[in-house]
Amino acid sequence: MKRNGQIVRKLVFIALATVIITSVILTIIGVTRVYYSYVSMVEEELKVAAHHLADEVSNEYDGDWSLNEEGVLMKGSDVVGEAYMKQMDDLHTRTNVEYTIFFGKTRNITTLVKKGTNERIVGTDAADAVIAAVLNGGNEYLAKDITIEGDKYYGYYIPLKNSDGSIVGMVFTGRHSDDITSVLMSTIFLMGGIALAIVVIICVAGLLLSSAVSKSMKNIVGSIETVAQGDLDSTVDQKILARKDEIGVIADNTGYLITKLKEVIGNAKTLSGVVSTSGDQLSDAAYQASEASAQVSEAVEDISKGAISQATSVQTAADNTKDIAKDIADINVNVDELKTRADDMQTACNNAMKALEQLVKHNSNVTDSVAIIDKQIRNTNDAVANIAEASDIISSISAQTNLLSLNASIEAARAGEAGKGFAVVATEIGALADQSGEAAVKISGIVDELVSQSKQTVDTLGVLNESFDAQNKQLDSTKSDMSDMQRGVNDVTDSTNRIAESILRVNTSKDSLNEIITDLSAISEENAASTEETNASMEELRATFDVINQSAAELKDLANRLNDDLSYFKISNL
């Protein structure tokens, strides 16, 4: 059935309707916002103008507001009607704002005139709402729809007060409503024109887009229709494939689909020919297998004869295996005994190593102690040497002292009577020097004896250190030998364990071998019985090959039918 694609055009029309509705809504919102903004601006303008006029007329002349007997407006003692009229006309000319001064509720001075004349609208009263809000309430008042001489105005009223704060009148400023209406209408026309222009532009762009998309979609649909008619050589326009939008994606996927269909159908055609050939080969193979089954039956008969001979041989092997099992049991007992002796040897070796390590530790401690004693004796020897040096110094000092004592005695003798006391001192010094010399001689003897004994002790310690060094070397050598022996014992133990494990594995293998031989014996007996069953199975197998041969023929027929169906599709390279 022929169908006309209208979905793109419908989408464009929906988008255009959305734009139009949005434009209308935005125009209404914009006009409303402009209206309220302009009203707010007019209110602010009229308010500023009213306060400006009130300030001028209140401060230009001194005094309070009043009317004279002729109904002329007075400010204090001054007549202000003419002056204020001129000022208000000047402001009206420059701002296009209407001004009025009320005394009480009645217009007294105004720029408003009656239609078609130059007569001022004075002597008329304000509206009741204005009187209530301004004169009675003392508030400012905005009138958005006030009628003056049949025309609509926006008006702003503020109270006019005397110096005592009493309200004596009002100041009015107003603007014609037509001014606001004309601005609003021009705004509406402007925004409507802009919205209309945007809608027209979007409509034109939408129609152009619809036309372009429809053309591309028709090209893609044409390619798909060609494929549906069996022509797989159809292609998609490259310009459409180059597009980056959804149309390009559809075109790319369509081209991919055509390529995959071409590949799948081509492979299917090739496979159908292969299946047909394979059917012939399968039929031939089934015939050959049937012939081979007859040969297998003859071979099975020969196997049956060999099975009987095999059963006899297996029984002989079973008897020999029993003898091997007895020998393995004897070896296992000897290995267990060897393992026990190796464990005892390893324990003794470990104990010896611990004792030797303890001995080495004690010997190291003794060596350290002897080293400390050697250091102390050498320090003592050094101290004795220092004492000897000090004794020599004392002896030298004693000799010098004797010489000084002698010189002092000589000088005392020369001095005569005056030097007697000094001679006594010199004599005592000489005696003290003699005693010091004797003490130094004794100290020197003692020091020599100490030096001799200390030297002997140092020599003895040297010999002792050499003995300890030799002993340490011997202990190290013994420890090394013990370590080698320990490693040897460990190796023996490990080897024994490995032999025991090997015996266990051999024993396990023996049991497995017995089971295998037993199974072989049973199998050999069963083989003879199975040959007859095998012959019967071979007959069934031959019948099966006949069925396969028939199925192969049916498979070839199906392949030919598949090839006829696939010929509907046309591929140039097949």
For the cut 70, the answer to whether the pLDDT of residue 538 exceeds it is no
226-242: average pLDDT: 74
Residue 172, strand partner residues: 100, 157
pLDDT given at position 195: 77
pLDDT given at position 34: 77
Percent of the chain exceeding pLDDT 90 equals 14
For the cut 80, the answer to whether the pLDDT of residue 209 exceeds it is no
Residues across the chain: 574
The overall average pLDDT reported for the chain is: 78
Q: Is 348 helix (H, G, I), strand (E, B) or coil?
A: helix
For the cut 70, the answer to whether the pLDDT of residue 13 exceeds it is yes
In this predicted structure, which of 133-137, 315-319, 407-411, 430-434 has the lowest mean pLDDT?
Answer: 315-319
- The separation between CA 9 and the C-alpha centre of its own chain, rounded to angstroms, equals 48
For the cut 70, the answer to whether the pLDDT of residue 62 exceeds it is yes
- Burial class of residue 318 in the structure, from the number of CB atoms within 10 Å of its CB (0-12 exposed, 13-18 middle, 19+ buried): middle
The vertex-68 CA angle with 92 and 56, nearest 5°, equals 35
Q: 346 with 447: CB under 8 angstroms?
A: no
148-156: average pLDDT: 88
Architecture of domain 7-208: 2-Layer Sandwich (3.30)
pLDDT given at position 574: 62
- For the chain, the distance separating the N- and C-terminal CA atoms, rounded to the nearest angstrom, is 31
- pLDDT category at 3 given cuts 50, 70, 90 is low
For the cut 90, the answer to whether the pLDDT of residue 171 exceeds it is yes
Find which of 27-31, 142-146, 554-558 is predicted with most confidence, using mean pLDDT. Answer: 142-146
- pLDDT category at 6 given cuts 50, 70, 90 is low
205-232: average pLDDT: 72
For the cut 90, the answer to whether the pLDDT of residue 206 exceeds it is no
pLDDT given at position 522: 75
Find which of 117-131, 235-249, 272-286, 331-345 is predicted with most confidence, using mean pLDDT. Answer: 117-131
For the cut 80, the answer to whether the pLDDT of residue 114 exceeds it is yes
For the cut 90, the answer to whether the pLDDT of residue 169 exceeds it is yes
pLDDT given at position 294: 66
- Say which amino acid occupies 27: T
- pLDDT category at 357 given cuts 50, 70, 90 is confident
For the cut 60, the answer to whether the pLDDT of residue 2 exceeds it is no
**Structural domain boundaries in the chain:** 7-208
Better-scored residue on pLDDT, 18 or 416: 18
For the cut 70, the answer to whether the pLDDT of residue 573 exceeds it is no
For the cut 60, the answer to whether the pLDDT of residue 493 exceeds it is yes
Both tokens of residue 306?
């060999």
For the cut 90, the answer to whether the pLDDT of residue 237 exceeds it is no
Q: 468 with 368: CB under 8 angstroms?
A: no
- Say which amino acid occupies 333: V
In this predicted structure, which of 130-139, 275-284, 301-310, 361-370 has the lowest mean pLDDT?
Answer: 301-310
pLDDT given at position 249: 78
